[in-house]
Amino acid sequence: DAMVIQNPRYQVTQFGKPVTLSCSQTLNHNVMYWYQQKSSQAPKLLFHYYDKDFNNEADTPDNFQSRRPNTSFCFLDIRSPGLGDAAMYLCATSRDRSGTSGRDTQYFGPGTRLTVL
Amino acid sequence: RKEVEQDPGPFNVPEGATVAFNCTYSNSASQSFFWYRQDCRKEPKLLMSVYSSGNEDGRFTAQLNRASQYISLLIRDSKLSDSATYLCVVILSGSNYKLTFGKGTLLTVNP
């Protein structure tokens, strides 16, 4: 059973054309994360939501925004995609952020591969 | 010193071999440790959380040595389907959520 679902799996957009990626989860986890992963690199955390509380990473460009309208859904908006934004975008969830009893274990969705033309 | 450092690999082993991956981390107060596997162009999938007492799941055994700041993953009787990149992942002290990834070690199991 899919637990973290991402749509679409593949997205092609034009340079500068806004794009929205979607993530949903059936785990009822409190925390949802967005990562960017480029070829042969480790995933890079962009931001996360702890419940409704948005937490941006210091080096995430302003071009990247996120929305979490409810517990199950989280969106990544790229306002003006550049060629350098072509990557795999991974959504992940965890029950909590604490380090006890595995509550911080993160589960990844299958990713959306973004191509920018 | 890198925050999370893994064997660079790649590892090429025959089916049935035992293979061990090693990982060291820089922050002695870190609390959470994981092994993920990632297939080419797919998402990281949790293989095991790593506990202080060590833990085993079938052919996979993970160990943690806090004194040496060292984590290991042992795969016994390797299968073709074990071919993947293995990522050592740590939540470093000072963050209660941020995964710090090692660069990964590519394993290829050959028939």
- What's the average model confidence in pLDDT over A3-24? 96
pLDDT, tens digit (0-9, with 9 covering 90-100), for B47-102: 999 988 889 999 999 999 999 999 999 999 999 999 999 999 998 877 778 899 99
Burial string for A66-84 (b: 16+ CB within 10 Å, else e) reads: bebeebbebbbebeebeee
- Using a CB-CB distance cutoff of 8 angstroms, which residues of chain B are in contact with residue A110? 42-43
Distance (Å, whole) CA B24 – CA B4: 6
Predicted confidence (pLDDT) at residue A103 exceeds the cutoff of 90: no
- What's the average model confidence in pLDDT over B19-41? 92
Supply angle C-alpha B9, B43, A8, rounded to 5.
Answer: 150
B102 and A102: CB-CB below 8 Å? no
Residue type, B106: L
User: For all residues of chain A together, what is the average pLDDT?
Assistant: 93
pLDDT, tens digit (0-9, with 9 covering 90-100), for A23-58: 999 999 999 999 999 988 889 999 999 999 999 999
- Using a CB-CB distance cutoff of 8 angstroms, which residues of chain A are in contact with residue B98? 45
What count of residues does chain B have? Answer: 111
Distance from CA of A17 to the nearest CA of B (A): 25
Residue type, B79: K
Asked whether the beta carbons of B39 and B84 are under 8 A apart, the reply is yes
Asked whether the beta carbons of A81 and A74 are under 8 A apart, the reply is no
A99 and B31: CB-CB below 8 Å? yes
Q: N- to C-terminal Cα distance for chain B? A: 37
Residue A99 near chain B (CB below 8 Å): yes
- Using a CB-CB distance cutoff of 8 angstroms, which residues of chain B are in contact with residue A105? 32, 34, 46, 49
Q: How many CB atoms lie within 10 A of CB A107?
A: 18
Q: How high is the pLDDT of residue B109?
A: 98
Cα B80 off chain centre by: 18
Task: Provide the H-helix boundaries in A33-76.
Answer: none
A99 and B42: CB-CB below 8 Å? no
- Using a CB-CB distance cutoff of 8 angstroms, which residues of chain A are in contact with residue B46? 105-107
